[in-house]
Amino acid sequence: MKLIGSYILFVKESFVRIQSFKLLIDAFFNDCGKVGSKSLAIISIVAIFTGGVSAIQTTYALSAPYIQDYVIGMVVRDTTFALIPTLIALVFAGKVGSRISGELGSMKVSEQIDALEVMGVNAVSFLALPVVLASTIMVPVLIVISCFLSLTSGYFSVMAMDLITGVDYIIGIRYDFNPFIVKVVLVKSFVYGFLVSTVSAFSGFNTVGGALEVGKSNTKAIVRSSILILAADYFITNVMVQ
């Protein structure tokens, strides 16, 4: 409970006593570039292979003659919207979350953060808020791109292996589609981005010791973020889908 309370106070502190909105905006756009561009490659690879494997596996699992071919597209679509957001968020936690924790942890152990606080600067707001806002905005963008790449990869996979026709695949993607699922995906995306960035920044700011402790903080940030992502996935799905 003490850890949860400290985390809540940390999040609250990051949104108060903002030193300069101009500096905040500049840092926000800079972090958006770092978070987005440096994560796009690995996230694209994960999405492409996930979509391809999902399409091929589904085709072989539903190969009975009494099952219509367009059902393959439906299953791949539903699997993509259910799996990709959480999978990408876990990759994001390992890729970006560890970087956030490592950078802030290094500043903490080298007393750079203490120096900012001595000068009267709210170090939490100055250092953590831009990356929190950037992650909260960029994670939904990355997940939307990943969903598109996953569905596209599934299309080319079934076409390349001549499993079903591209027309049947597209019909399946569009058949009985409920747009509400897109809202669920977006809500999850915003929550994931916020959780990963705040938990990672919190771990970095609470690093005590030297280089070894910085590494331990990185591990804690990834583990805690992953657990919260899975928990958020369960609760959001349970609340919004029912």
Indicate the burial class of 33 (C-beta count within 10 angstroms; 0-12, 13-18, 19 or more): exposed
Q: Which of 12-26, 138-152, 228-242 is the least confident region?
A: 12-26
What is the C-alpha separation between 213 and 136, in angstroms, rounded? Answer: 27
Render pLDDT for 190-231 as a digit per residue (tens, 0 to 9): 999 999 999 999 888 888 877 778 888 888 889 989 999 999
pLDDT digit string (tens) for 43-60?
999 999 998 888 888 888
Three-state SS letters, 115-168: HHHHCCCCHHHHHHHHHHHHHHHHHHHHHHHHHHHHHHHHHHHHHHCCCCCHHH
The larger pLDDT score, comparing residue 64 to residue 159, is at 159
Dihedral angle, C-alpha 54, 55, 57, 61, nearest 10 °: 120
3-state secondary structure the chain: CHHHHHHHHHHHHHCCCCCCHHHHHHHHHHHHHHHHHHHHHHHHHHHHHHHHHHHHHHHHHCCCCCCCCHHHHHHHHHHHHHHHHHHHHHHHHHHHHHHHHHHHHHHHHCCHHHHHHHCCCCHHHHHHHHHHHHHHHHHHHHHHHHHHHHHHHHHHHHHHCCCCCHHHHHHHHHCCCCCHHHHHHHHHHHHHHHHHHHHHHHHHHCCCCCHHHHHHHHHHHHHHHHHHHHHHHHHHHHHHHC
Quick one: average pLDDT of 66-84? 83
**What pLDDT band is residue 232 in, cutting at 50, 70 and 90?**
very high
Amino acid, single-letter form, for residue 199: V
Q: How many CB atoms lie within 10 A of CB 214?
A: 22
Answer whether residue 154 shows pLDDT above 80.
yes
What pLDDT digit, counting tens, does each position of 118-145 carry? 787 788 888 888 899 999 999 999 999 9
Per-residue pLDDT averaged across 32-40, rounded? 83
User: What is d(CA 106, CA 176) in angstroms, rounded to the nearest whole number?
Assistant: 51
Highest mean pLDDT among 64-73, 105-114, 181-190: 181-190
Average pLDDT over residues 62-72: 74
Going by C-beta distance under 8 Å and a sequence separation of 6 or more, which residues neighbour residue 90? 226, 229
**Could you tell me the residue ranges of all domains in the chain?**
35-241
Give the pLDDT of residue 242: 64
Rg (CA), the chain: 21
